[in-house]
Amino acid sequence: MKPAKFDYYRPKDLPEALSLLESSGFDGKIIAGGQSLVPIMNMRLATPECLIDINGLQDLNFIESDDRVLKIGTMTRQNTVETSQLIKDQCGLVTEAVAHIGHLQTRNRGTIGGSIVHADPSAELPLVMMALNGTLHISSEDETRSVKAEDFFLTFLTTDMMPNEMLTEVHLPIWKGRVGSSFQEVARRHGDFALVAAACQLELDAHDRISDIRLALGGVEAIPLLISDAKELLAGERLTDAALQKVADVVAGSVEPESDLHASAAYRTQLAKVLTTRVVHQAYERAKGSAVCP
């Protein structure tokens, strides 16, 4: 349980980090919080030859908002995100989701960017990014670009990023009006990866009718699954048990989970249905109770 040998670099700023990443080619790996990377290095499932430690890049540790967009730097610790009042006020779905990641001791060290680029199909932050269709800002030595979450996750542990690229910040849209959100998951033990997780955010008009809704599920496919039919099924309507059942049935029909040691495909499908019902219902009730933002 000891990692293989590697070269270690501690760049002082982003250009130096990107230059190191460029020159190390496929052998280079960024380490931020290391809460996913170090376990797999200890087990020698990963043996990067060159580790580039970005913990010193304080410019990438920030939480900002310009009223429309919430911006979080890639090096921001999960615990900082969890306890940020700004995030709670403007994007409460993130706050609710982060509390489910690992444990206090791993959230103290783990970063928002690290979890997203690791892209575990059951992980909370990729699911939230998909649910809100956040934007990922990515840099290489030569180029800076942004990608929507819907185009970012490709398959298990694989994203749209190239080996010479690094995630620098994530942007999440701030919804205004009568907005409610909900994040729920089922795991065997608190802190474990979810068997299935669900995230929902919706907006209501003045007559309690759903005007916009985003719904996504984690743990059911190789990447977080966006249920794009949810809007078609629910928009313009007040939430009824029948409508809720219809969405749950659509979810059950669109997920194709795999069986593994932790849960059978049938159980995961059942969880997907139940969690869908719960998050949509809770988000709706929260939106009804929410004050209208200016």
Partner 1 sequence: MSLTEINVTINGKAYSEWVEPRMLLSDFIRETCGLTGTHVGCEHGVCGACTISMDGAAVRSCLIFAVQADNREIKTVEGLACNGEMTALQKNFVECHGLQCGFCTAGILMSITDFLEKNPQPSTKEIKETLSGHLCRCTGYDGIVKAVQKTVQDNQKEVLQRS
Backbone φ and ψ for 65, nearest 5 degrees, come out as -150, 140
Alpha-carbon gap, residue 159 to 118, rounded angstroms: 8
With contacts defined by CB under 8 A, name the span among 114-122, 147-155, 188-196, 286-294 that binds partner 1: 188-196
Q: Which is nearer to partner 1, 3 or 173 (CB)?
A: 3
Q: Output the CA torsion sign for 157, 161, 164, 165.
A: negative
Do the beta carbons of residue 276 and residue 234 sit within 8 Å? Answer: no
With contacts defined by CB under 8 A, name the span among 3-11, 128-136, 164-172, 228-236 that binds partner 1: 3-11
Q: How many residues bind partner 1, per CB under 8 A?
A: 29
Which of 3, 16, 19, 61 is in the footprint of partner 1 by CB under 8 A? 3
The interaxial angle of helices 265-289 and 241-254, nearest 10 deg, is 140
Site string for partner 1, 59-98 (x = CB under 8 A): --------------------x-------------------
Closest approach, Cβ 41 to partner 1, in A, equals 8
Alpha-carbon gap, residue 190 to 258, rounded angstroms: 22
Residue with tokens 């966006």: 226
Closest approach, Cβ 104 to partner 1, in A, equals 5
Which of 55, 211, 277, 282 is in the footprint of partner 1 by CB under 8 A? 55
Which of 189, 241, 242, 289 is in the footprint of partner 1 by CB under 8 A? 189
Which of 17, 18, 24, 34 is in the footprint of partner 1 by CB under 8 A? 34
Q: Which is nearer to partner 1, 4 or 293 (CB)?
A: 4
* Single-letter amino acid, residue 239: L
For residue 283, what are its two tokens?
Answer: 């988000």
Q: How many CB atoms lie within 10 A of CB 267?
A: 15
Sheet-wide strand order for 135-139: 63-65, 69-73, 166-173, 135-139, 144-148
Q: Which residues bind partner 1 (CB under 8 A)?
A: 1-8, 10, 34-35, 38-39, 42-43, 51, 53, 55, 79, 102-106, 108-109, 189-191
